[in-house]
Structure 1
């Protein structure tokens, strides 16, 4: 899953916990890269818990759960990508990668 602001793809950390943060935006789980965390007030763009106002939410199986107070509600939005402007979606990246691999394997 890419950073929802800039489209950067997450990589495995060298050691320890990942510096990427996650949240919920428009009822969809999103990731925020370390660069966007430093530059933007990214928490202002996240959904908040209706009970306690926290942005520490997770979205799974059509529900949004607050990790601070435990409040659970049904997700309202239809499934879809929540990425920044111009960020390629996963399906486009997979199609491009397959095209590159299949072109290399062709015999004239």
Structure 2
């Protein structure tokens, strides 16, 4: 899943926890890359908890839960809308990567 602000793709961290942050925007789980986190007001675009106004939300199976106070509510969108990806070009990137890998394996050495 890419960063919702800049579109950068997440890579696996070398060791330890990922520097990427999760949030909910328009009732969909989103990721925020470390570069976009350096912006002063990056949390302003994220949905906030109705109980404590925190932006520390996670979206799971049609529910949105606040990590700070534990408040849980049902998402207004359907589960299918929550799972669908709006990432442009992802299928093309996967197809190109598979082609490269399969071509290398099939080539004589």
Which bracket does the TM-score occupy, shorter chain normalised? 0.7 to 0.9
Unaligned stretches of 5+ residues in structure 1? none
Contact 1:27/1:64, CA 8 A, preserved across alignment? yes
1:41–1:73 Cα change, 3 Å: same
Unaligned stretches of 5+ residues in structure 2? none
What is the TM-score of this pair, normalised by structure 2? 0.77
Q: In the alignment, which residue of structure 2 is the partner of 1:56? A: 56
Q: Quick one: which of 63, 78, 81 aligns to 2:85? A: 81
- Write the mapping of 1:20-35 to structure 2, written as runs, cut at 5 A: 20-35=20-35
Q: In the alignment, which residue of structure 1 is the partner of 2:4? A: 4
Q: In the alignment, which residue of structure 2 is the partner of 1:47? A: 47
Count of aligned positions = 103
The CA RMSD over aligned residues, in Å, is 2.3
What is the TM-score of this pair, normalised by structure 1? 0.78
